[in-house]
Structure 1
Amino acid sequence: MPAPRTLLLTGAAGGVGTLMRELLPAYGYELRLLDAVPVPGAPDAIVADLADRAALREAVRGADAVVHLAGISLEAEFEKIVAANITGLHHLYEAVREEGVPRVVFASSNHAVGFTRRPREGEPPVPVDTPHRPDTFYGLSKCFGEDLAQLYWDLHGVETVSVRIGSCFPEPTSVRMLSMWLSPGDCARLLHAALTAQEVGHTVVYGSSANTRAWWDLSTARALGYAPRDDSEEFAGKLIAEKGLPEPGSADDLYLGGHFCVNPPRWPH
């Protein structure tokens, strides 16, 4: 579709949101920012919770697309996950439907398939159609989000690209991240591709850079026009020397979700 001009970026004060609000304007987007807390340096940002349906509808009105990064991004009590990541996401899609916004880019997560065994050397990468195997309530909410996106495409014609984001940081901070690192620059390139590709319907993609140690099949992302430029391998020597390789048989060694499968970090940080 034509490049959206006005883009609603939810979760704009979060880690990925902070990086994207710096990088996406270079692609020609006029950003409208939303978060549950004030966005530093953005006095015009909308401060609203996903529970506030009227505020959400006002926020999406006139937008050409939505990049939805808001919600709880770590493990939490089930009730909190439901409120933010399930009920809140439904509120967003209802606002999008009511206001006729044609496309959403939804921040899904690798934790939707976290209990999937990671591929070993010589084995094929994990495809996007691998069955959901969430590793947490958080991961479970991302499975729901992908299914909700499919429903809104089938029922209402709202297009979505669900991006199973790996770890989007300026550089990887663990050995596991060497396989799922998404550099900020590549994240912006992937979001731009997801926003501008033609006829996406509901498309699920993995979000990582062109990592030498990658575990995921990026073919559906590349089909959108995504061309990753970065590789975590430049950080591998230092990280392995500092932290060592995962212990054989440990969660970090066995599963895509790593330690989230046994001892997930809790929300808030």
Structure 2
Amino acid sequence: MKRVLLTGASGAIGTRLRVLLQPIYPELVLSDIRQPADLHSNETFVAADLTDMAAVEAICSGIDGIVHLGGHSVEGPWETILNANIIGCYNLFEAARRQGVKRIVFASSNHVMGFHPRKTRIGVEAVPKPDSRYGLSKLFGEGLGALYAHKHGIGVLSIRIGNVGDQPVDERRLAIWLKPEDLVQLIRIGLEKPDLVYEVVYGMSDNRRAWWDNARALELGYRPAGRSEDFAAAALEAQKKLPKDEIGDYFQGGSPFCSEEFDGDFAALKKLS
């Protein structure tokens, strides 16, 4: 990979990745709907709205690989999710196809699987149970990646990202924490591993309390350096200060993704799980 495009470069994760990816991919191109406030003179930024196919095709021109973080990163109204995460995601994959892009790393989310209970350990083959319109849009993106990988020959890695940060800050994040440098390692697998067609992995570090079986990522060469258990004492102490949420605390997606707008039969769901 010589010329790599990073969408969503102004977001929280994108801001971290700008620093970490630049030494690896010197021809890194940054894109978002707004320019980062701290853009450096050695960084290349091109503004683009993902709903504008012409603009998306322009930023994909001459690109070898894409790290697609762009879109709406939390739950939102249907119109917001539809435009940013579904139409925008389709435009990105289709523009990549038209411009001959070889690889795409798609930032999926743990919220694709959010309604699995925390007591259940799941692998990538488990049935998706999105916990929100946001999670549903990420499931769409995974399906889109599979289509463009198998039908159009673009190598695609979908990473179901847990929570990216310097350390896990509560009990839930002890299970799903992802050290930024470990995310970079997964991205490099997606962009560089020979013969990759389509893969789904969980974006988590070495978390002893994990709910996910990340065996496939390990088979692909992933060796996480972060250990969430190193921060367990502080995270569990912080957990004591958080309000209880019967639904959010039961399911992997947590609060507010699982509990907000919930009007289902919680007792019945618990029996099923």
Per the normalisation by structure 2, the TM-score is 0.89
2:114–2:130 contact (8 Å) kept in structure 1:
yes
Q: TM-score with structure 1 length normalisation?
A: 0.90
Cα distance in 2, alignment partners of residues 208 and 29 from structure 1: 26
Give unmatched runs, 5+ long, in structure 2: 262-273
The farther-off stretch of 34-43 and 144-153 is 34-43
Following the alignment from structure 1 to structure 2, what is the Cα–Cα distance between the partners of residues 242 and 111? 23
Equivalent position SS for 1:217: coil
Match of 2:37 among 24, 28, 40: 40
**Paired residue type of 1:84:** A
Q: How many aligned residue pairs are there? A: 257
- Note the C-alpha offset of 1:119: 3.0
Aligned residue in 1 for 2:197: 201
Q: 2:178–2:203: 8 Å Cα contact kept in structure 1? A: yes
Partner of 2:3: 6
Select the structure with the greater relative contact order (CA < 8 A; seq sep ≥ 6).
Answer: 1
Please report how far the alpha carbon of residue 203 of structure 1 lies from its aligned counterpart in structure 2 after TM superposition: 0.5
Residues of 1 paired with 2:26 and 2:248: CA distance?
38
Q: Which amino acid counterpart does residue 109 of structure 1 have in structure 2?
A: S
State the secondary structure of the residue aligned to 1:140.
helix
Q: Deviations over 1:25-81 (max 9, x none)?
A: 233442100001112332641111101211111111111100000000100001110
Could you tell me which amino acid in structure 1 is paired with residue 220 of structure 2?
Answer: L
Q: C-alpha offsets along residues 217-250 of structure 1, whole Å, 9 cap, x if unaligned?
A: 1111122221101111122111212323989982
Aligned to 1:51: 51
2:169 to 154, 169, 173: 173
Q: Which residue of 2 aligns with 1:189?
A: 185
Q: Are the structure 2 counterparts of residues 22 and 119 from structure 1 closer, same or farther at C-alpha, using a change threshold of 3 Å? A: same
Runs of 4+ with >4 A deviation: 245-249
In structure 1, the partner of 2:74 is 74
2:109 counterpart residue number: 109
Q: Matches of residues 133-172 of structure 1 in structure 2 within 5 Å?
A: 133-172=129-168
Q: CA shift at 1:254, angstroms?
A: 1.9
**Deviating more after overlay: 42-51 vs 126-135:** 42-51
The root-mean-square deviation of aligned C-alpha atoms, in Å, is 1.9
Q: Which residue pairs with 1:267 in the alignment?
A: none
Query: Aligned letter for 1:7?
Result: V
1:218 counterpart = 2:214: yes
Of all paired residues, the percent bearing the same amino acid is: 41
